[in-house]
């Protein structure tokens, strides 16, 4: 099905299943422990072996010698995979660093070997007996030291966030110099880790030349393509299954070392092998969000109208890696005739940087939305009114290109009223509650709404149950449920009469889970397959092709004639397969999502400890397919934003090139006690240019801007402006007001 003209009225608009707060259809499997996650397949036979990764202990250099004899003699050890016996390996196009190192070491904790044994304990013990001698060389580990010489680069996150090396409209430098009110500030964001609950984990089994891989992966088809390229085998020889994923946040978009090493280990010992990366290995071995150094300049007239806005960002990555596209949102979030963005990329020897939830916009808005508050203060304006004054309904760089739907002002106005913004004391440090300094903060949220080709197969059985098959994944987002709702709506069935099978490369290729495109694209693919099946059902039931068919309450109706849907399959199952292919509507219209995030918090006047009190997010994200699962996405994103604002930072050892705090004891993410009441409001804004579903993504929008809202609230509470994340107590305590 081609989608190249805006959607008109269609079966989804009935909103009997779609748009309703349905419970997760797979929830009972997760809470009962019967959902088969990648490492938990216990049906592969008693000969399944375990692999334990030996990871590099230097950040840059070579392996001078790897002594394996003692490990090979250890009890239970079946074999050891290294670069020497792995055979010739390629590299998937989505991997920047090699997944199996040796003799060269590209980054700390790069996998150098896999010890395979009968039990996990034996594999771990064997790995501890591998002796590696290194020749260490100097590496580039300090972004600040490299920033001034980093070259300008263009870049794309691969998820809708992109920018040229230097881009602009008008005369930014001249307009900024002439502006009567100016802001020129520097902001930094640190390296961050995905910290998903489920580690990267895989089980591999070979049957002759055919490989089956059970793995935790967000993008099944990408995994097949890149694993085939790495192993240098045909794609059709790989069967990849990922029906349940325990969190990804971008860290499982791409093929990782666990999957490759499981395949290599299974091939070596000729039995199934399971590999899970240990928590201390994940931060350095897999990908992370790269740190940024950002400079934002805003020039405005005295009435608050922006006349010049400029945003530079520098980040680092391994050779041929991507920049963190932190300037992307600044190209179009606010009006202003004179604009400039620039990105620079330093080549570094730290572990690979790659997509993490809302790549680009998440760290970019952490800086931009502080700058907007700082500018509002210089102008003597309320920060909400300053943002509203500079709203735009067109892409500022391409005024002929309108936003398909943009209700940022409504988000700000509605949120302001609900949150009680009028009660905020605009004077920093003026509100006390006992020992707590209390403040409110606001920030705008922005994230593009990209789409991807997505396919599905739908089958109607003799029992009247519809089964949907697609390689779409559910990473905790609710894919199973919204796909079931879509098929139920299209076929007029209760959701209980729809079965959904996901995450298997034997199924049609879907959009996968990433970039905020998953929900909209995958359900649109199911819509296309169901539309095709409806035509076949009509023919099977003897309706004329010109009949206007209604599918509802388990029946098919046209005029006065009504037939049970199940009758269409009484002589055998009916199946249809199709995919949604998007035209160029995203070129005619700027398709984006918007939010207003509000935060109230307290800062302990004695210790500098920050405690959130309440949050509110008002979201403009098209039709909401399931308010319950969508809310879950947003509140999870808010938690992630709070962590990014207050605690999360991968600390870099700039001498030896690794992230020191590579575990959940020292890389601090929020826990239940850190999170207050969270309110989420969705505006009703179906977008007919986005897809037949008229939906958009919301899972990344919920993160974009939250960190800045926290930072702005800290400033309102204390009068201390922190521009270097995270906002830890030591950055506050020296400037807090005297209390004794």
CA 416-419-421 angle, to 5 degrees, is 55
143, part of any domain = no
Tens digits of per-residue pLDDT, 258-296?
999 999 999 999 999 999 999 999 999 999 999 999 999
Which whole-number Å values give the CA distances from 390 to 332, 335, 484, in the listed order? 11, 5, 41
For residue 632, which phi and psi values (nearest 5 degrees)?
A: -60, -40
> What's the DSSP call for residue 149?
G
Q: Please tell me whether residues 412 and 492 are part of one structural domain.
A: no
Beta-bridged to residue 80, according to DSSP, are 115
Tell me, what's the pLDDT at 723? Answer: 98
Tell me the longest C-alpha to C-alpha distance in the chain: 87
3 pLDDT exceeds 80? yes
Domain residues for the domain of 562 are: 2-35+451-587
What is the pTM assigned to this prediction?
A: 0.97
Q: For the purposes of burial, counting CB atoms within 10 Å of the CB of 133, is it exposed (0-12), middle (13-18) or buried (19 or more)? A: exposed
Residue 556 structure tokens: 């098919």
CB–CB of 118/38 below 8 Å?
A: no
What is the average pLDDT across 234-262? 98
Cβ(173)–Cβ(346) below 8 Å: no
Question: Would you tell me how many other CB atoms lie within 10 Å of the CB of residue 316?
Answer: 28
Angle (CA) 664-201-699 rounded to 5° is 65
Same domain, residue pair 559 and 411: no
Residues 642 and 729 in one domain: yes
DSSP summary character for residue 359:
T
Element (H, E) at 607: none
Residues 230 and 126 in one domain: yes
The string of pLDDT tens digits covering residues 605-636 is 999 999 999 999 999 999 999 999 999 999 99
Report whether pLDDT(307) > 70: yes
Quote the pLDDT of residue 740.
58
| 561 and 646, same domain (yes or no) | no
Q: Which percentage of the chain shows pLDDT scores above 90?
A: 98
Quick one: 260 and 212 in the same domain? yes
CA–CA separation, 607 and 256 (whole Å):
41
Q: What is the dihedral of CA 236, 37, 449, 413, to 10 degrees?
A: 180
Residue 740 lies in a domain: no
Do 297 and 417 fall into the same domain?
Answer: yes
Residue 700 bears catalytic tag? yes
Q: What angle do CA 641, 642, 646 make, to 5 degrees?
A: 120
23-40 pLDDT, tens digit each = 999 999 999 999 999 999
Strand, coil or helix: what is 326?
Answer: coil
Let me know if residue 247 belongs to a domain: yes
Contact 298, 306 (CB under 8 A): yes
Which of 156, 265, 268, 282 has its CA nearest to residue 216?
282
Given 587, 603, 624, which residue is the final one in a domain?
587
Instruction: Tell how strand 155-156 and strand 131-136 pair up.
Output: unpaired
The Cα 394–Cα 383 span in angstroms is 22
Tokens matching residue 29: 């499997």
Instruction: Give me the CATH number covering residue 234.
Output: 3.30.365.10
Percentage of the chain beyond pLDDT 70 is 100
In this predicted model, what pLDDT tens digit does every residue of 641-695 receive, in sequence order?
999 999 999 999 999 999 999 999 999 999 999 999 999 999 999 999 999 999 9
Using one digit for the tens of pLDDT, what is the confidence trace for 503-552?
A: 999 999 999 999 999 999 999 999 999 999 999 999 999 999 888 999 99
- Mean pLDDT (the chain) is 97
Tokens standing for 39?
Answer: 């490492």
pLDDT score, position 262: 98
Clarify whether residues 253 and 310 are in a common domain.
no
d(CA 486, CA 629): 14
**Hey, is 554 helix, strand or coil?**
coil
Report the distance separating Cα 303 and Cα 288, nearest Å. Answer: 41
Does residue 418 form part of some domain? yes
Cα dihedral 479→481→487→489 (10° resolution): -130
- Residues 412-468: pLDDT tens digits? 999 999 999 999 999 999 999 999 999 999 999 999 999 999 999 999 999 999 999
Residues 529 and 549 in one domain: yes
Single out the residue of 483, 532, 534, 626 nearest to residue 15, CA to CA. 626
Q: Which of 285, 307, 327 is the last residue of a domain?
A: 285
Provide the terminal-to-terminal Cα distance of the chain, rounded to the nearest Å: 71
Residue 312, domain member (yes or no): yes
CA distance 713 to 601: 7
Other residues' Cβ atoms within 10 Å of the Cβ of residue 656: 15
Instruction: Answer yes or no: do 420 and 503 share one domain.
Output: no
Can you tell me the distance from the alpha carbon of 403 to that of 3, in angstroms, rounded to the nearest whole number? 18
* Domain end marker among 231, 253, 285: 285
Quote the distance between the C-alpha of residue 568 and its chain's center. 41
Distance CA 345, CA 365 (A): 19
In a domain, 144, yes or no: no
Domains identified in the chain, total number: 3
Q: Tokens at residue 237, please?
A: 């020889």
Residues 431 and 573 in one domain: no
**pLDDT beyond 80 at 739:** no
CB 623 within 8 Å of CB 692: no
Residue listed under structure tokens 């509100």: 431
Distance between CA 588 and CA 423 in Å, rounded? 42
pLDDT of residue 737: 84
- Sign of dihedral through CA atoms 59, 61, 62, 64? negative
Q: Count CB atoms within 10 A of the CB of residue 377.
A: 18
Mean pLDDT computed over 346-352: 97
pLDDT given at position 159: 86
User: In this structure, is residue 549 part of a structural domain?
Assistant: yes
pLDDT at 440: 98
- Rounded mean pLDDT, 240-245: 98
Structural contact between residues 352 and 284, judged by C-beta atoms closer than 8 angstroms: no
Q: How far apart are CA 343 and CA 312, in angstroms?
A: 6
Q: How many residues does the structure list for the chain?
A: 740
pLDDT band at 738 (very low <50, low <70, confident <90, very high): confident
Question: Which pLDDT does position 545 carry in this prediction?
Answer: 83
Q: What is the CA radius of gyration of the chain?
A: 27
Domain presence at residue 264: yes
The active-site residue out of 70, 361, 700, 735 is 700
The Cα–Cα gap between 321 and 316 comes to: 8
Instruction: Say yes or no: 363 and 445 in one domain.
Output: yes
Alpha-carbon distance values, 626 to 121, 609, 638, 715 (Å): 44, 37, 18, 36
């Amino acid at each position: 099905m081609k989608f190249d003209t805006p959607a008109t009225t269609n079966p989804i608009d009935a909103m009997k299943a779609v748009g309703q707060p349905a419970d997760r259809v797979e929830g009972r499997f997760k809470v009962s422990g019967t959902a088969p996650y990648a490492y938990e397949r216990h049906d592969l036979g008693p000969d399944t072996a375990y692999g334990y990764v030996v990871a590099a202990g230097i950040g840059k250099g070579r392996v001078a010698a790897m002594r394996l004899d003692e490990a090979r003699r250890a009890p239970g050890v079946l074999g050891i995979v290294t670069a020497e016996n792995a055979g010739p390996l390629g590299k998937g196009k989505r991997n920047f660093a090699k997944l199996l190192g040796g003799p060269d070491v590209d980054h700390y904790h790069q996998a150098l070997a896999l010890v395979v044994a009968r039990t996990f304990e034996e594999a771990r013990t064997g790995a501890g007996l591998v002796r590696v001698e290194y020749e260490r060389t100097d590496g580039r580990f300090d972004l600040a030291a490299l920033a001034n010489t980093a070259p300008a680069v263009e870049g794309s996150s691969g998820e809708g966030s992109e920018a040229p090396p230097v881009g602009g409209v008008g005369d930014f430098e001249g307009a900024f110099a002439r502006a009567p009110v100016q802001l020129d500030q520097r902001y930094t964001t640190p390296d961050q880790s995905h910290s998903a609950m489920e580690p990267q984990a895989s089980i591999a089994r070979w049957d002759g030349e055919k490989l089956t891989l059970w793995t935790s992966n967000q993008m099944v088809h990408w995994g097949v393509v890149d694993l085939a390229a790495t192993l240098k085998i045909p794609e059709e020889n790989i069967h990849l299954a990922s029906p349940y994923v325990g969190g990804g946040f971008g860290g499982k978009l791409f093929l990782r070392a666990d999957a490759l090493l499981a395949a290599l280990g299974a091939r070596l010992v000729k039995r199934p092998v399971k590999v899970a990366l240990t928590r201390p290995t994940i931060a350095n071995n897999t990908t992370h969000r790269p740190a940024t150094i950002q400079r934002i300049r805003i020039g405005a007239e005295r009435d608050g109208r922006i006349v010049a806005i400029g945003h530079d960002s520098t980040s680092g990555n391994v050779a041929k890696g991507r920049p963190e596209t932190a300037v992307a949102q600044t190209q179009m979030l606010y009006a202003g005739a004179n604009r400039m963005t620039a990105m620079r990329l330093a080549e570094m020897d730290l572990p690979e940087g790659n997509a993490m939830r809302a790549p680009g916009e998440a760290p970019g808005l952490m800086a931009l939305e502080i700058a907007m508050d700082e500018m509002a203060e210089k102008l003597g304006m309320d920060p909400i009114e300053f943002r509203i004054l500079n709203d735009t309904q067109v892409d500022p760089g391409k005024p002929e290109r309108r936003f398909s739907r943009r209700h940022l002002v409504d988000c700000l106005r509605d949120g302001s009223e609900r949150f009680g913004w009028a009660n905020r004391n605009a004077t920093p440090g003026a509100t006390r509650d006992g020992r707590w300094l209390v403040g409110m903060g606001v920030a705008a949220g922005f994230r593009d709404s990209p789409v991807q080709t997505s396919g599905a197969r739908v089958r109607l059985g003799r029992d009247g149950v519809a089964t949907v098959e697609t390689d779409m994944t559910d990473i905790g987002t609710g894919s199973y449920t919204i796909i079931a709702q879509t098929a139920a709506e299209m076929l007029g069935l209760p959701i209980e009469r729809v079965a959904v099978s996901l995450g298997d490369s034997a199924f049609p290729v879907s959009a996968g889970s990433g970039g905020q495109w998953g929900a909209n694209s995958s359900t649109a693919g199911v819509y296309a397959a169901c539309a095709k099946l409806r035509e076949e059902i009509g023919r099977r039931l003897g309706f004329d092709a010109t009949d206007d068919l209604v599918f509802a309450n388990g029946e098919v109706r046209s005029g006065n004639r009504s037939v049970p849907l199940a009758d269409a399959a009484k002589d055998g199952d009916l199946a249809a397969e199709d995919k949604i292919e998007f035209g160029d509507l995203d070129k005619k219209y700027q398709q984006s999502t918007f939010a207003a995030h509000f935060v109230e918090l307290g800062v302990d006047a004695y210790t500098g400890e920050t405690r959130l009190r309440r949050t509110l997010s008002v979201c403009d994200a098209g039709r909401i397919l399931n308010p319950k699962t969508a809310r879950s996405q947003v509140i999870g994103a808010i938690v992630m934003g709070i962590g990014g604002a207050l605690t999360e930072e991968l600390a870099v050892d700039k001498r030896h090139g690794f992230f020191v705090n590579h575990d959940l004891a020292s890389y601090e993410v929020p826990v239940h006690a850190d999170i207050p009441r969270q309110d989420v409001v969705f505006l009703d804004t179906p977008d007919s240019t986005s897809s037949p579903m008229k939906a958009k993504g919301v899972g990344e929008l919920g993160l974009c801007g939250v960190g800045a809202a926290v930072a702005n609230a800290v400033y309102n509470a204390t009068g201390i402006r922190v521009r270097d994340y995270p906002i830890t107590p030591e950055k506050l305590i020296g400037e807090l007001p005297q209390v004794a």
